[in-house]
Each structure stands twice: as structure tokens, then as C-alpha cells.
Structure 1
Amino acid sequence: MLKQTALTIILILVNTLAQASPITFTFSGIGDLTLNGTNHNNTAFTVTLNADNVDVQPPPTLPTYVNLSGTIDLGDLGTATFDNLLYIYSSQDGGFAGFGDNDKGDLFGLFDNGFLTYDLISDFGPLTVGVSDVDDPLQWIDVETSLGKTTFENFTTATFSATVSAVPLPASAWLFGSAVVGMIGFVRRKNS
């Protein structure tokens, strides 16, 4: 009985610790863009995508998160949500990472050897690359956002980071665990 109870506690704690952890991906930089037909040069931007680190789609293709929502902060122009679902990808073979729009395809990619070891499920960066290592934004044309249609003409420096947020163990798990430990102590004391 005591061994079964101890095994149950271990299984519950392992299951609790294996919960998904929120992960935030951030792409930021400076670029020339058009918003609703108006040109804006040297505009700082930050794209933020949120996922859970257990939702990554493994190879045979690139490790990818799909069906994500995201925002783009365009400084003084405002912050917008993307109208279409997004995806993020990384290639350990090719040394690149980026994100795309389910309707338009790949929107933004960065190339750096630092991505050769990145798995999309852990903390990473920040990693800043120069203009020669930022993928040409050929598909970022009339991307629908809550501020309107955005088109990027080019990017200069860009930065990528990923931050995993710790998920605290729920109080109910601690309460349950302490109750089970108390019961084990009671049973052992009663049997002695």
C-alpha cells in the first residue's frame, strides 16, 4: 500500500511538472514600411508571438508552431494584431528562424549560426543580426493587421529572442502532496 501511494505521488508530480510553459517569441528591428498607402521610413517594429513549448510540430519538415496569434508594435503608429493566423519556424540545419502568415507565407527570416542549436522550445537570445542576414521581405506585401495593410520594403538590423515563462506548481498540487505524505506518515506510525 505504501509503495503504491508513493508511486501515485510521483506520477502526479511528474505530470504536473510536465505542463506546457508559455513561450514568447519576439522579432524586432527597423524597416521601411507602407501602412495603408503611407510610407514610413526607419520605423522601429516589434512582432510578438505566443505559444506553449509543448505545441511545437517536430520534423520531418522544420520545427514549427502553427495557428498562432500575434501583434506588431509600430511605435508611434500604434500596435496591431495580425488578422491571419501565424506560424514560426527554425532550422538547425540551415541556421535560420522566422515567422509567417498562413495566407502570405514566410514574412520575416533571420540567418545566423546561433540558430544551428536552437530548438524552438527553450529560451534563446537576444540575437541581433545585420541587414545582410535579414531575409528579403518579398512576401510581406499587404499583410492584414488591425491598423490596416502593411508592406515592408526592407529591414535593417533585426533581433530575435524567445522567453519561456515558468508555470508555478498549483497550490492544489502542494496541498494534495502534503496530505498524501501525512497519510503515509500516519499509516507507518499505525503499523509500527
Structure 2
Amino acid sequence: MVIVENDHQLEQKVERKANVAEISTIDGTIVGYNFFDVSSYLTIEGHGQVAISDDQLAVLNEQLKQAGFTNQLQADHTPKFMVGFVKSCEAHPDSDHLSITEIDFADAHEPLQIVCGAPNIRKNLKVVVALPGAMMPDGLMIWPGELRGVKSYGMICSARELHLPNAPMKRGILELAADAVVGSSFTPGK
């Protein structure tokens, strides 16, 4: 399955041609493609969200073309998990436990507003951020959203959500060491 967009509507339509199914919302937004029997023409290693090479992408685009679809997949080699710096942290005006943060990524990504419910979130922390399009280790996809009327463009992660070994069971985001490099990529589960 190749996910290309947020499935923002519950109703979907599926068009299958040969061994490819195009999944779209009722308004026509293509949200993904399912490639059936993909292992017969492509070797993909890993599980969960897997980054594919440009050569593998070309093979998938050829499969789309052969099936009769006109759209082509575009490469996205940007990291989906990054080290961010909490530039600001303010109480949410409509919640007693949510905070509105501004996360900085140095020159690697534009700053993002993220609503966070962790009790230990505060200004000047280095944290792990799941950016829009990220797949969490449990399969949850991260997309822009809104929490109690405030837009949020990602998720600040806990060690448990990242499936890190020996992750504490207590609530709270992962606080990174002072030497963590803001704007660098982060690999969940490592």
C-alpha cells in the first residue's frame, strides 16, 4: 500500500485495474494505491513505513502506467521523524492539560505549531517530532489536524509511542539530551 494523502473522509471509492487499486475520497482526492502481488516484481525490505529508492518508485510508476492509471507517484525522501526544539509553549485556551507549542527544526524544516498533551512539555526542550505523513510504529498515520479548535501539524512523541527499548510506562514526551542535533532525522524503534 502506498499512501499519498490524508484520508480525510470516511467514504472512499476504489478503482481496480489489473493488479493496482486506486483509492480516493468521494471528492476525488487520491489517498493511495494498493499494488497486488508486488513481490513478483519488486523486493521491499522492512516493515511499517518503508522508504523506497527512486528505482523502486520507477517500477511502481511503470505498474501504474501498465494498469492504465495516468497519475504517477512522486518521490518524498524527507525524514518523517525529526529532532525539534520547543521554541515556545503556551497553555491551550480551551483545555486544562493541552499546550500549544512552536517547534523549530533549524534549517531542515519550517517551524510547526503542534498541540501537545504531555505533562512534561515545556519551552527549550529537544524532542522527537512525527511530521505529517509519518507512520508511527503501531501503524497510526500522522496528518495535520485540530485539537479543541487549534491547528496542529504533527506529533511530539514519547519513548513508548516510538517503541524504544526500555521505554518508561509513565506519561510524557521523550526529552532528548542537550547534544541532540535539531533538524536531524530520528529513527523510531532504535
Normalised to the residue count of structure 2, the TM-score between the two structures is 0.26
Decide which structure has greater helix share. Answer: 1
Structure with higher Rg: it is 1
Q: Which one has more relative contact order, counting CA pairs under 8 Å at least 6 apart?
A: 1
Normalised to the residue count of structure 1, the TM-score between the two structures is 0.26
